[in-house]
């Protein structure tokens, strides 16, 4: 069974939002206060709104993040914004390597890696996005693409505290399409295996978000999938009702999962105690129990 990680629901407003959107954000803040404290909530507005929203969010359950940054601290880079500037304005997370940046601005994996390091230099956490296009999926290259993106975009210094991985199939972004839960399970399991292989201890605790057409109606189902530790939400994060609907579905799902895990582990301990009593044998670390840990499928490699 995978370790239970705290769920993160992150809203990515992309190039949307004016000061006139602040009341919508205030509605999110009001609704978030009523949610059980089981999920971490984050909204990443455009840079122009980071300071105003960080001010409003102070002391609330919603953290503020930003989208993209330059790799340098400062300098002659007209129109760019550094991670330090975004952190100074109130951002605690910065999204880097989103497929829209990779496609529209030609950002390479190496550039994304430098940006993640810039985010850390400024004292924030990086959300690094990876994902395959429709053509790559159709060609059966999904896992190869993800392996390459992850190995080249994630810096060696990555840890569970400074990094969140977001799997966002490009074909699912803004299209209303989502992979099946079985596909998501396979891919998130694959990503988990890769990060654990590279960072044996930290990789188990790194949060892996799913992104691409997450809505209130599919959030609980997606969050129930193994190794899905939250969501990166685009369009549906712009409206308080939708964003809070997703957060509520995830909070419910994560509460349910915790209760379920508690029951399973209690039953397991009971069973182990009984068998220990009977045969003097099965406890934590016992090879028979360790073998139960599911390995994730890799058929399409």
Catalytic positions: 98, 168
Binding span for ligand PGA by CB under 6 A among 16-24, 35-43, 154-162, 208-216: 208-216
Q: Minimum distance between the CB of residue 97 and ligand PGA, rounded to whole angstroms?
A: 11
- Cα 104 to Cα 107, 165, 253, 288: the distances in Å are 8, 21, 35, 51
Q: Does the footprint of ligand PGA cover residue 230 (CB under 6 A)? A: no
Q: Which is nearer to ligand PGA, 84 or 229 (CB)?
A: 229
Q: Minimum distance between the CB of residue 170 and ligand PGA, rounded to whole angstroms?
A: 9
Decide: 246 and 236 in contact? Cβ < 8 Å.
yes
Which alpha helices (H) appear in 13-76, and where do they start and end?
22-33, 47-57
Closest residue to ligand PGA: CB criterion? 234
Q: Which is nearer to ligand PGA, 179 or 199 (CB)?
A: 179
Rule CB under 6 A: choose which of 214, 228, 244, 247 binds ligand PGA.
214
Q: How far is Cα 255 from Cα 68, in angstroms, rounded to an integer?
A: 32
Q: Which is nearer to ligand PGA, 7 or 272 (CB)?
A: 7
Q: Which is nearer to ligand PGA, 17 or 212 (CB)?
A: 212
Phi and psi dihedrals of 166, rounded to 5? -120, 120
Rule CB under 6 A: choose which of 107, 168, 185, 242 binds ligand PGA.
168
Rule CB under 6 A: choose which of 64, 235, 242, 248 binds ligand PGA.
235
Rule CB under 6 A: choose which of 12, 67, 82, 162 binds ligand PGA.
12
Rule CB under 6 A: choose which of 90, 179, 211, 230 binds ligand PGA.
211
- Cα 10 to Cα 47, 92, 147, 148: the distances in Å are 16, 12, 23, 24
DSSP 296: P
Task: Show Cβ contacts of residue 6 under 8 Å, excluding neighbours closer than 6 positions.
Answer: 38, 39, 40, 207, 229, 254
Q: How far is Cα 195 from Cα 205, in angstroms, rounded to an integer?
A: 10
Q: How far is Cα 178 from Cα 214, in angstroms, rounded to an integer?
A: 8
Rule CB under 6 A: choose which of 153, 162, 213, 254 binds ligand PGA.
213
């Amino acid at each position: 069974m995978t370790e239970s990680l705290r769920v993160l629901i992150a809203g990515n407003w992309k190039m949307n939002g004016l000061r006139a959107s602040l009341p919508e954000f205030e509605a999110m803040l009001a609704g978030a206060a009523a949610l059980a404290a089981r999920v971490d909530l984050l909204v990443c507005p455009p840079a122009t709104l980071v300071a105003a929203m960080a001010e409003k969010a102070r002391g609330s359950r919603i953290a503020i993040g930003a989208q993209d940054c330059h790799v340098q601290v400062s300098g002659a880079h007209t129109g760019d914004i550094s991670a330090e500037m975004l952190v100074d304005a109130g951002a605690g997370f910065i999204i880097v390597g989103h497929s829209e940046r990779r496609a529209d601005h030609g950002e390479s994996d190496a550039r994304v890696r430098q940006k993640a390091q810039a985010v850390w230099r400024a004292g924030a956490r990086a959300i690094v996005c990876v994902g395959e296009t429709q053509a790559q999926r159709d060609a059966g290259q999904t896992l190869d693409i993800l392996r390459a993106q992850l190995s080249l975009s994630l810096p060696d210094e990555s840890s569970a505290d400074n990094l969140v991985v977001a799997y966002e199939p490009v074909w699912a972004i803004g299209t209303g399409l989502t992979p099946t839960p079985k596909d998501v399970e396979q891919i998130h399991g694959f990503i988990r295996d890769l990060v654990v292989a590279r960072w044996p201890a930290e990789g188990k605790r790194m949060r892996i978000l799913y992104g691409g057409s997450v809505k209130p109606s599919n959030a609980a189902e997606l969050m129930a999938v193994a190794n899905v530790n939250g969501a990166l939400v685009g369009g549906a994060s712009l409206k308080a009702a939708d964003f809070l609907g997703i957060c509520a579905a995830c909070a419910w799902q994560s509460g349910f999962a915790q209760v379920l895990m508690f029951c399973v582990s209690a039953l397991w301990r009971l069973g182990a105690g009984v068998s220990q009593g009977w045969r003097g044998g099965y406890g934590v670390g016992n090879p028979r129990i360790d073998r139960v840990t599911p390995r994730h499928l890799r058929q399409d490699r």
